[in-house]
Structure 1
């Protein structure tokens, strides 16, 4: 049977290309996922391990056993001394990086200040300049120095809580930036112990993040670790763990990655989708291939081959194809990952990225790909080899088989669909994501089981819209001649399009929902608090900000009164308030005051004649101060408090939300204030949109793999269908159908399947996306349905183009064959 299988592979190699491509892409996705997890772990080990590379043991707070109470959760210098006094410990180092701010010229950045240790601990490796020799000198990392324009010999100022005035120090040298993700984001500053004593608070000087231990030569690591643990058992910090450096690194890596390969579990969802679609393509391909080889199989039966032998030969053929395709998939994944890692290593912030190709990635991928191909080929093989020899030798048109859906499948699919829809509706109505997710999965499985019931009628109905020409009519008829294969092909594409549409619609609806919620919570796009900024804002400030690109309007809100609690009440012209408030209903009327959500009663304002009560218009914002119109302020007669004015800004419609952070920086620079004093809903929306757009890009990219495999399935099915209908197509040519019309017929047939699957996928995906957002955010905000019509139109256009391209090669092959040659073929 092995000889027969190899012969069939050689004979039908071109027809197996689609199987090889589908399995290759699916297994490459699986292998890449496993490599991503391994590479992430290896990269974190490399980056986090940098902090512990010189330590034999590391003592740190054991957060798994930490119970709070009287424990402080912070190790101290006393703990360092306790650990250092244990026999076998050569030296104990209190490792800590204290957060400070550093100022160079007009730029102030966040920084981390660490001590340069003494012998026997190695000092930072200097790349330029020298180590500090005085307490007024520091070493910086090269990347932060370059960003801030700082060179060796320059002076910088350290801003800390311990000193009201900045501490001026000189940069004596530069060192390589840290690869530890916990510290790499900030400027890294290293100084002598006396500098830390002069710049840090007493509490900061006493606390340490971890205790690094260097052991005597020949010391028993396990025994010393046990003794250190006993010596630190009564630490005020709480329970302390003592691990080797490698064990501590792995503990932190597990904490950062979820401890159970969380990255892999998330990606596996998309891998599963790709593998399911791959399985459908393999089933289709082997179904058509074996239908074409019925006569060959029957001939083998007549010369003595048993049904089991034929079945085994087909499965061996599938196993070989699956095994080779899986190995190619592993190789493709390794090449892609190597390229991505090489590119990442060119960026300074990702220089620690490491490629890891674990053995289990190779083994698991190869086994899964082989078993998937075997499982997908099992049913077509069993069905083909069950045909009696004499029956198979009779002339038959396999393409015209009429296949009906089994009653059990219909009932089971209907039950799953209705049950899942009910659960999904329950999750959406109660805002329960877990319930909604479960209902969505169950209902989608049910719909896939029932797919032939609505896919084939949809193809027939859409086929009527293709025109009354002969090629169009023939295409509509051919598209549904083999219901089972056509439904399976369309279903493969339906899965991918549904999931892509679901993510697009879900993301768009989620953004619209959050925009609505943010409009209520942040009625003002951007505001500058004069008190927080420490500047006096005036009409010139308004003019300066109004001139910036992306700003629609800006107004000055001045404090005109205070309520009984001393909270300032701001005022602005009614028209000005209407121009900046995102919710027009929050513009106060005469005798009204708009207040934050925590103010539930009317506002009483002390005046020269007593008090005045203003009717509260309660907003959903927690940051919007009480505000009245200028007309109402004029009637109060209250004494204006000594409180700086605020600048309120509204962005232009259509401003790219991702540019919100840039606008914040521009406003801060224009007014000469720190960025933290510029806040508002536009910034929040920009941050949210950046995150959701990034996640959407990744998810749609992952799901595009499934769509690509499905398109390969469409091309493969049409190609095999053309081979199967060689005599029929040649007869049509003999009856007068021109080559161009034959190509048109095949193109329309392919596009019909693609358009139908895409339209149904868009409808289902949009419904799932909206209900998914309602399930996830229903308890947080009122869902605002927003359908990304342009994106969905792009999905439909891509499906049409891909389906048309899938028909080009089969159409040319069919058109090149002369009618005489086609009619003579078997």
Structure 2
């Protein structure tokens, strides 16, 4: 076996199959959206319209968000695989394999899986958009003109997806595969990261407060202040997430009870702060985005009911706002799906990596039911933190965004609380907990304590 063979680091490409799924989802999403925007642009040129251009610009933002979430998921997933094979990798280092050789083998394997997933996803996304275009042309919804079957932008997006996967792999394993970590200057880096996070969050909060004031005064600059305030505070939260998220997870974990299973779940949830953060942050971003859009549009709809409009105008306004809401949610939801896939994969891989620990617990008297409870409660702590934090922050962002637009037209501070949407998010989180916890829990208790303790 060559030193650069991927089997040295991953064992098999099935271990990084999540990379292929995530890349397929990302490429399929980008292919569908970019092909649709190209179709609308060509149809718009024929009718002198700009809907395709607008969709392309808006979609680019959400594609970048999806790629960012995908990078977090891939980085965490690959790092989890490598952490689970630490003993084998240490043995390879002892017999002469260098860290660069191991990283090269891993990168080759990930690039191969990412390429396969991206190609499949791109083809599926473009074909779906083209089929929709053929149907709409046959029904005279779109003009019968010459369209592109595969826009260059969609092909470029698939290449970018593969590049993101490779970069995320290199970043996620830079410590795991580089031997002993260099500790010098760590305290300085942590202090600097905290300082930058506090400054960004503080400055962004000032912009958000200014956006609310500008909106109350009827200034059109309020929305831009709200946008940049949201972006800056979100960046601050992401930079400081390594310190914020584990504390939140630990806090949620204390609510799970004081049974042995609950206490062990709380410990496991924060055992690796970096992995805890990366596992949770993707879901947090997705829930925050969805909540921001739905809460903001709910605020606008509630405020519109108070305006001096005729019944016909109110119906038209409601139709426009509802359509806008669903379009934006549709653009965002892929990020939530990617984060959910990554969360389930991480839970499964971490449980596999703790096979020996679970065997020791079983040998000491833990029942199969307690093991299942431990894994389920750990999933609850992680996903519950993402859900609650995302709901709170998203509601705040949505309210300020709405205030910046119609504050002068509506008395008070509009806060959208879409109970149905919130219930759907909570229900989705429950489903995610079950999907993420049950398969690894079933696998964990199916191994006898003796076999589990024999795992190296």
State the TM-score, normalizing by the size of structure 1.
0.51
Query: Are residues 795 and 2 of structure 1, via their aligned partners in 2, closer, same or farther at CA, if it must alter by over 3 Å?
Result: farther
- Give the one of 412, 418, 427 matched to 1:797: 427
Query: Are residues 362 and 694 of structure 1, via their aligned partners in 2, closer, same or farther at CA, if it must alter by over 3 Å?
Result: closer
Q: Deviations over 1:543-598 (max 9, x none)?
A: xxxxxxxxxxxxxxxxxxxxxxxxxxxxxxxxxxxxxxxxxxxxxxxxxxxxxxxx
- Give the one of 274, 290, 314 matched to 2:66: 274
Distance 1:765 1:2 in 2: 50
The answer (yes or no) to whether the contact 1:25–1:329 under 8 Å persists in 2 is: yes
Aligned to 1:514: 304
Distance 1:11 1:305 in 2: 15
Task: Identify unmatched segments of 5+ residues in structure 1.
Answer: 49-180, 182-251, 392-402, 523-680
**Which secondary structure does the structure 1 equivalent of 2:156 belong to?**
helix
Distance 1:355 1:715 in 2: 39
Matched, 1:695 2:337: no
Query: Are residues 341 and 803 of structure 1, via their aligned partners in 2, closer, same or farther at CA, if it must alter by over 3 Å?
Result: farther
The answer (yes or no) to whether the contact 1:277–1:709 under 8 Å persists in 2 is: yes
Larger Rg: 1
- Give the one of 350, 354, 357 matched to 1:721: 350
The answer (yes or no) to whether the contact 2:23–2:114 under 8 Å persists in 1 is: yes
Q: Deviations over 1:202-238 (max 9, x none)?
A: xxxxxxxxxxxxxxxxxxxxxxxxxxxxxxxxxxxxx
Aligned to 2:100: 308
- Name the structure with the higher strand share: 1
Query: Are residues 756 and 475 of structure 1, via their aligned partners in 2, closer, same or farther at CA, if it must alter by over 3 Å?
Result: same
Q: Deviations over 1:791-824 (max 9, x none)?
A: 2122122112212211121111111111111100
Q: Deviations over 1:345-402 (max 9, x none)?
A: 45444474876333523531232011101111112332123215xx9xxxxxxxxxxx
**Cα drift, residue 297 of structure 1:** 3.0
Distance 2:264 2:131 in 1: 47
**Cα drift, residue 694 of structure 1:** 0.8
Aligned to 2:292: 502
Distance 1:812 1:696 in 2: 39
Q: Deviations over 1:670-723 (max 9, x none)?
A: xxxxxxxxxxx2211110111111111111122111111111111111111111
Query: Are residues 9 and 451 of structure 1, via their aligned partners in 2, closer, same or farther at CA, if it must alter by over 3 Å?
Result: closer
The answer (yes or no) to whether the contact 2:280–2:382 under 8 Å persists in 1 is: yes
Aligned to 1:19: 19
The answer (yes or no) to whether the contact 1:502–1:769 under 8 Å persists in 2 is: yes
**Which secondary structure does the structure 2 equivalent of 1:689 belong to?**
helix
- Give the one of 201, 207, 231 matched to 1:423: 207
- Give the one of 247, 254, 262 matched to 1:472: 262
Query: Are residues 813 and 338 of structure 1, via their aligned partners in 2, closer, same or farther at CA, if it must alter by over 3 Å?
Result: farther
Matched, 1:264 2:48: no
Query: Are residues 814 and 267 of structure 1, via their aligned partners in 2, closer, same or farther at CA, if it must alter by over 3 Å?
Result: same
Distance 2:350 2:332 in 1: 27
- Give the one of 312, 318, 327 matched to 2:119: 327
Aligned to 1:240: none
Distance 1:811 1:353 in 2: 55
Aligned to 1:433: 223
- Give the one of 794, 802, 811 matched to 2:441: 811
The answer (yes or no) to whether the contact 1:459–1:756 under 8 Å persists in 2 is: yes
**Cα drift, residue 480 of structure 1:** 1.2
State the TM-score, normalizing by the size of structure 2.
0.90
Distance 2:15 2:314 in 1: 51
| Aligned residue runs from structure 1 range 622-701, under 5 A | 681-701=310-330
- Name the structure with the higher helix share: 2
Distance 1:439 1:515 in 2: 28
Distance 2:59 2:251 in 1: 38
Task: Identify unmatched segments of 5+ residues in structure 2.
Answer: 182-186, 216-221
- Give the one of 360, 369, 393 matched to 1:764: 393
Distance 1:10 1:288 in 2: 11
Distance 2:24 2:2 in 1: 23
Distance 2:139 2:117 in 1: 34
How many residues in Structure 1 have an aligned counterpart in Structure 2?
Answer: 444
RMSD: 2.5
Matched, 1:735 2:357: no
Matched, 1:287 2:71: no
- Give the one of 307, 320, 337 matched to 1:708: 337
Query: Are residues 722 and 404 of structure 1, via their aligned partners in 2, closer, same or farther at CA, if it must alter by over 3 Å?
Result: farther
Distance 1:351 1:814 in 2: 57
- Give the one of 362, 380, 397 matched to 1:751: 380
Aligned to 1:637: none
Query: Are residues 452 and 37 of structure 1, via their aligned partners in 2, closer, same or farther at CA, if it must alter by over 3 Å?
Result: same
